[in-house]
């Protein structure tokens, strides 16, 4: 029993998560610390919203946009690797690449006059920005499926759908998940910028801090954003290992 506890404590996933939650909880009491560090500031602790709310709003932004990006990216990747969709592959790849060429701030700036301020333009910009890595992962993953596995799937009488869901996607999964991982990590960082268009996120203290020369705010937002990205990265690493464990 104590052995299991020890193993659990040694889990590299536990510590970043614990640290992130501890910082979220302790931040409201860190006022004196930042007051000492930056004595020239009147209000050294960000208090407009609680850090919990900001973290949840940030996760919501990333979650919704990444979910959309994953669905669109995997869907498009699967579609253009089918016999019937092959011709659209160059077009889809070009579109996705173009989506990522625009700096996210530019996408946000374009989205605002069309949709207005708030969460929606942020989600759309993040979504567009997140598609390319997922698409690339899906294409690379499906291409890595051995031709013999595909031929046999067909030869033993699997339908196209069965071949996709039972053979191609499971074999491509580690590479697809790597794509989603990249997409999510990028989005966690980019979501901080979304605060410029009025979406709440852990970027809010950073943006407000930058415009008001409040370095303490910037540090508070930046540390939490960075930790969140680290936690997400570790989680995906674990997920990837689960999927590649059996298939090698």
Partner 1 sequence: MIEFKQVSKYFADKAAVDEIDLHIAAGEFTVLIGTSGSGKSTTLKMINRLVEHDKGTIQFAGEEIRGFNPQALRRRMGYAIQSIGLFPHWTVEKNIATVPGLLNWPLAQQQQRIAELLTLLNLEADLLHRYPHQLSGGQQQRVGVARALAADPEVLLMDEPFGALDPVTRGVLQQEMLRIHRLSGRTIVLVTHDIDEALTLADKIVLMDSGRIVQQGRPIELLTHPANDFVRDFFGRSELGVRLLALGSAGAAARRGEWLETSPIAAEMSLREALSQFIARQTDKLPVVDGKGTPLGVLHFGDLLRQRESA
One of 149, 213, 238, 241 touching partner 1 (CB under 8 A)? 149
Applying CB under 8 A, the span of 29-37, 60-68, 81-89, 150-158 interacting with partner 1 comes to 150-158
Give the Cα separation of 220 and 232 in Å (integer): 19
One of 11, 49, 143, 151 touching partner 1 (CB under 8 A)? 151
Task: Name the minimum Å distance from CB 159 to partner 1.
Answer: 6
Give the Cα separation of 234 and 178 in Å (integer): 12
Determine, following the binding rule CB under 8 A, whether residue 152 of this chain makes contact with partner 1.
yes
Stretch 161-180: interaction string toward partner 1, x if CB under 8 A: -x----x--xx---------
One of 158, 208, 210, 239 touching partner 1 (CB under 8 A)? 158
Determine, following the binding rule CB under 8 A, whether residue 242 of this chain makes contact with partner 1.
no
Give the Cα separation of 203 and 191 in Å (integer): 7
Task: Name the minimum Å distance from CB 161 to partner 1.
Answer: 11
Residues 6+ apart with CB under 8 A from 113: none
Tokens of 42: 């009147």
Applying CB under 8 A, the span of 45-53, 117-125, 145-153, 194-202 interacting with partner 1 comes to 145-153
Applying CB under 8 A, the span of 25-33, 51-59, 103-111, 152-160 interacting with partner 1 comes to 152-160
One of 28, 32, 90, 146 touching partner 1 (CB under 8 A)? 146
Secondary structure, 3-state, 169-219: HHHHHHHHHHHHHHHHHHHHHHHHHHHHHCCCCCHHHHHHHHHCCCHHHHH
Applying CB under 8 A, the span of 6-14, 131-139, 151-159, 231-239 interacting with partner 1 comes to 151-159
Determine, following the binding rule CB under 8 A, whether residue 17 of this chain makes contact with partner 1.
no
Applying CB under 8 A, the span of 30-38, 67-75, 126-134, 147-155 interacting with partner 1 comes to 147-155
One of 2, 83, 84, 148 touching partner 1 (CB under 8 A)? 148
One of 159, 165, 211, 212 touching partner 1 (CB under 8 A)? 159
Tokens of 16: 């970043």
Please report, as ranges, the residues that interact with partner 1 according to CB under 8 A: 146, 148-149, 151-159, 162, 167, 170-171, 246-248
């Amino acid at each position: 029993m104590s052995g299991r506890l020890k193993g659990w404590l040694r889990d590299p996933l536990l510590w970043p998560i614990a640290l992130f939650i501890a910082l979220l909880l302790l931040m409201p009491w860190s006022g004196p610390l930042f007051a000492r560090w930056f004595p020239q500031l009147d209000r050294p602790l960000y208090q407009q919203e609680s850090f919990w709310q900001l973290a949840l709003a940030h996760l919501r932004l990333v979650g919704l946009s990444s979910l959309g990006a994953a669905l669109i990216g995997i869907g498009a990747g699967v579609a253009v690797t089918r016999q019937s969709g092959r011709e659209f592959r160059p077009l889809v790849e070009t579109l996705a690449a173009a989506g990522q060429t625009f700096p996210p701030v530019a996408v946000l700036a374009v989205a605002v006059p069309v949709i207005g301020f708030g969460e929606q333009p942020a989600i759309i910009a993040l979504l567009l920005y997140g598609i390319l890595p997922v698409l690339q992962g899906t294409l690379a993953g499906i291409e890595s499926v051995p031709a013999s596995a595909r031929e046999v799937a067909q030869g033993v009488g699997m339908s196209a759908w069965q071949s996709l869901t039972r053979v191609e996607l499971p074999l491509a999964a580690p590479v697809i998940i790597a794509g989603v991982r990249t997409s999510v990590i990028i989005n966690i960082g980019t979501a901080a910028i979304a605060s410029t268009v009025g979406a709440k996120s852990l970027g809010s203290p950073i943006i407000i801090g930058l415009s008001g020369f409040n370095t303490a705010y910037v540090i508070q937002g930046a540390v939490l954003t960075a930790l969140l990205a680290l936690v997400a990265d570790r989680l995906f690493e674990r997920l990837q290992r689960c999927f590649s464990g059996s298939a090698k």
